[in-house]
Amino acid sequence: MKLSEIKNHLQNLETIAFQLPNGKLVPAHFHVTEVGKITKDFIDCGGKVRQENVINFQLWEERDYNHRLHPEKLLKIIELSEKRFQFDDLEIEVEYQGEVTIGKYNLDFDGTNFLLTPKITACLALDACGIPKPVIKVAQAVSSCCNPSSGCC
């Protein structure tokens, strides 16, 4: 989800809820402790220089059970960040504390909840690494019905 998309969704919501990949909701007393831009400069295993840019939201929860972040407040935080950092309309990455370490998630929306969806790793230089690309075989359909002399065509 891009920054413009979350802003549009927030304008139509009365409450904010984030749902983890396992279906559980992030507790309602969460805070958005950071909104920022993360730039990652790197070289892939094939030697190609790359750069990734994302808008990062960090969700945090503590024992502040009376706290509720409302959509208009999150919009204000985003707008302050945009003014300060002049964000492009980038994809959003969400960080949330897991059982052992911080998890990073992509963001989606189901009409009610923001969905924290899994991020996966991948080789960006399959050809350079010698890893074969998956071969997709197309099965030939042979059927007597499809035979031009069968009379059904």
- Full 3-state SS string of 72-119: HHHHHHHHHHHHHHCCCCCEEEEEEECCCCEEEEEEEECCCCEEEEEC
Rounded (10°) angle between helices 3-11 and 71-85:
150
Distance of CA 137 to the CA centre of its chain: 31
Q: What is the pLDDT of residue 134?
A: 66
List, run by run, the mean pLDDT of 10-residue segments along the chain (153 residues).
Answer: 97 96 94 95 94 96 84 96 94 93 96 96 84 66 54 54
Q: Tell me, yes or no, if the pTM score tops 0.75.
A: yes
Q: What is the pLDDT of residue 119?
A: 94
